[in-house]
Amino acid sequence: MQTVWITGASSGIGEACAYRYAASGCRLVLTSSSRQKLDLVAERCRSKAAADVRVLPYDLNEPDGIKLLVREAWNAFGGIDILFCNAGVSQRTTVEDTPMPMVRKIMEINFFAPVAIAEALLPLMISAGGGRIAVTTSIAGRFGFPLRCAYSASKHALYGFFETLRAENRDRGITVTMVCPGRVRTDISRNALDKGGVRHGLMDPGQDEGISADKAAKRIVRAIRHRKDEVLVGGKELLMVYVKRFFPGLCAMIAGRIKPM
């Protein structure tokens, strides 16, 4: 019986993945900043045959308590087989309208928090014989995208850190799956930071046309199970990943013309 810890588990991709793992009879540790939402997800997971569920609410913008959070997650069921660092925050501001406090907040939640969690959990996983780590990046982590300067930077940074973690620990029983979504119908655009750091509050048209969170979760859970190095999740927008790889100049031109999703 596997134990799965998911951050950003109260909505969107994290919530949908929790239900997938619950239906497989896994034990779940669920984290997000909202206890109320987590409790609802936990109840649904129990109704879907989860072996057991623990809720660990935490604001990942607060770095000082992350080591304790990791210890609590590990001790909940005596170990973690799969860590899915999915929590994140986006933005809808230009470079000129993105003050440094906003940049730091986005980097804290999207990059420093999963790094701190992984660093604290890694030796425990190794001592237990290994484990699987997955982290949500974005196609915005493959190329710059309008109104995403800090978000894109944080997702680029995840690739550098977690690909290095994989390279250093592949022979120690640790696998890393980079989860790279394109357009998925979640509330990430509604919860994105707008000018002044306020909630954007709107669903982007492109994202509204994206795949469902459940369809994304199906692909993600399968990729983690098969220990894939990376999984691209979305629709035709994912072609931009290959355009970037083989035609970087064309990618730069297209990225400047695409309506931000």
Distance of CA 222 to the CA centre of its chain: 16
Q: What angle do CA 51, 109, 70 make, to 5 degrees?
A: 40
* Paired sense of beta strands 27-31 and 52-55, if any: parallel
* DSSP helix/strand/coil, 231: strand
Distance in angstroms (rounded) separating the CA atoms of residues 12 and 84: 13
Do 224 and 177 form a contact (C-beta atoms < 8 A)? yes
From 19, 21, 58, 151, the catalytic residue: 151
Q: How far is CA 187 from the centre of its chain?
A: 13
Alpha helix positions (H), the chain: 12-23, 35-47, 66-77, 100-107, 113-127, 149-169, 205-208, 213-225, 239-246, 248-255
With 0-12 CB in 10 A as exposed, 13-18 as middle and 19+ as buried, what is 128? Answer: middle
The answer to whether residue 159 is catalytic is no
Residues forming the active site? 151
